[in-house]
Chain A
């Protein structure tokens, strides 16, 4: 089992006012799954994703990653897991401006504990860019690219360390339907190659590209089911919203 959470909770204490953002979430995710976490804003889906991505610590419950209990991890261990095990794709792309595509994709490798040779690094960056079809834009600056291209660079960056899990937070949220569809195509093809993907979205249509949908409302999981009629991005013309 890649991920196993039991009764996961997250409370925010804002000057004495305690807000329960997530309460009693439990599920397992196996390697190779493509899971969409669905729900309106305030449902706790972003909080859940932050916990799964080791960006934040739960206030209750257990989180096992590859069978390891992550409860007593130090900050540095969490950073190590984010670097080695997780590839993040954010809604706002979060590329470094005034920086080339190559350097953006290279970034997770820089924070690797064991440093690879320059040749090895270049090979990995090129291969990650090849899988999103942007190898020829390698030496462009990130701010010279279109939104869709920027998100593809972000996916390449997520792939470069060969992570166990790709976490995508509203990956199509800032894109038009055509570019959004292309991102879904890439995510589906990555999943077909065996990569595990967890995607947060509030759009039903987008979530139907996954194999399984976990629906959330007011901090709890209300539904967890397989997609019956999965959409295949390759066979669509545009991503309807």
Chain B
């Protein structure tokens, strides 16, 4: 008794009831494919976001207003506006005596409004920032200039455009530098255009307009706070020391004695990566778990089919036992059959899943995202493993039922 015989029998029975086998296998295909697709798309999305954060540079410290858990999302992500972080804080952090390791920094305050140029009317996000932005973000001004330190606080109505904004408003023929555009009801001079940069985590930098921080605060928004600020440290090894300096400086400025009263949070890129990783990972596995429910349904389909198959072959089982098949041989025969069904379904599901995830990646790449097409070996192994165990788990009951049939009754069964 070897495995080739049960395999041959399984093949024959699957072929004999083609449509039924197809439907049974389809249940598994859908389950496995959904797990693969969701894992692949989830991993790609995760990689996309993480790559963008990594692209910013690993020697950055971010300061957000409001306290937050180390690994949790910041308060601002939940839609709460906290106004405790001011331009004065940034000025203090840039003092060599406070944070000696800081080489540059930038503040961020965003809003959005209608932008007009020669009859073109479009809504854009704008960002108030400081002259250190270019160095801090490793950005390149392709045309014109960025603003100066003096302009940060001079209320100058000048703007530097993201590359897409410049394309939208001016096309290829007009040089944007020196042109006047209206943002809301304010007139701005365009002084520079960024080189194309692609999108970062949650915003597209190419479709953003940049202006000096005071201009954004006082002329556009009428507020005195910042959304967040970033400090660039001279080297990665000094990150922890610089973080400590930032915290000390801010506590002093905000009159905080007890660390639990902190009204700001300081993060470096690694904690940011950890947060994103945790959140996206949780979403990915949650979705995969939902997809796995369809595998359960597929498994029940297999059990049902196998029970029908056992009932249709009671006489055959009787005969096989009569001519000397042991219970274990009958058990093996039916178990192999359900495993074959799930493995065929598993392999087809993997192929389908990879193809669908690949097509999705192509479409998303066409939309302009640097979307990596990732199908990990573990997700394939897990899929094969799951289908194997679904086969055993849902096949064992029908197989045992067949193996335990009484020979005499089985032979007499009509």
Q: A residues bordering B, Cβ < 8 Å?
A: 50, 53, 55-56, 75-76, 79-80, 82-84, 88, 90, 94, 96, 98-99, 107-108, 110-113, 115, 157, 161
Determine which of B1, B315, B316, B407 lies in contact with A55 in the assembled complex, contact meaning CB atoms within 8 Å: B407
The proximity string for B residues 315-340 relative to A, scoring 1 for CB distances below 8 Å and 0 otherwise, is 11011111111111100000000000
Interface footprint category on B: 20 to 34
Give the nearest-CB partner of B406 in chain A. A56
Interface centre among A111, A113, A157 (most CB of B within 10 A): A111
Tell me, in angstroms, the Cα distance from A113 to B324 when the chains sit together: 10
Per DSSP, are chain B's interface residues mostly helix, strand or loop, or mixed? Answer: helix
A82 to B2, CA, bound (A): 19
Cβ–Cβ contact B327 & A75, under 8 A: yes
A83 to B323, CA, bound (A): 5
Closest Cβ–Cβ distance, residue B391 to chain A (whole Å)? 23
* Contacting pair A110 B327 (CB below 8 A): no
Interface set of B (CB-CB < 8 Å, partner A) = 1-2, 5, 12, 16, 315-316, 318-329, 407-408, 411
The CA-CA distance from A112 to B407 in the complex, in Å, is 18
Q: Chain B: which residue is nearest A53 at the CB level?
A: B322
Sample (21) of A-B pairs whose CB atoms are under 8 Å apart? A55-B322, A56-B408, A75-B327, A76-B326, A76-B328, A79-B321, A79-B325, A79-B326, A82-B321, A83-B323, A83-B324, A83-B325, A94-B315, A94-B322, A94-B411, A96-B319, A98-B16, A108-B324, A111-B320, A112-B1, A112-B324
Contact residue among B1, B316, B319 (Cβ-Cβ distance under 8 Å from A110): B1
The distance in angstroms between the C-alpha atoms of A79 and B319, with both chains bound, is: 12
**Given the complex of chains A and B, what is the CA–CA distance between A115 and B1 in angstroms?**
7
Q: How far is the CA of A234 from the CA of B327 in the complex (A)?
A: 42
Residues of B within 8 A of A55 (CB): 322, 407-408, 411
Contact yes or no, A107 B320, CB < 8 A? yes
- Output the nearest chain A residue to B2 by Cβ-Cβ distance: A115
Q: Shortest distance in angstroms between A42's beta carbon and chain B's nearest beta carbon?
A: 15
B2 neighbours in A (Cβ, 8 Å):
115
| Nearest CB of chain A from residue B287's CB, rounded to whole Å | 43
A76, A80, A82, A98: the one contacting B12 at CB < 8 Å is: A98
Residues of B within 8 A of A98 (CB): 12, 16
A90 to B315, CA, bound (A): 12
Q: Complex: how many Å from CA A53 to CA B411?
A: 13
Separation of A161 and B1 alpha carbons in the complex (Å):
15
Q: B329, A94: Cβ atoms under 8 Å?
A: no
| Chain B residue, CB-CB nearest to A79 | B326
**Residue from the set B1, B16, B326 with the largest chain A CB neighbour count within 10 Å:** B326
Q: Which residues of B contact A161 (CB under 8 A)?
A: 324
Contact, CB under 8 Å: A50 / B320? no
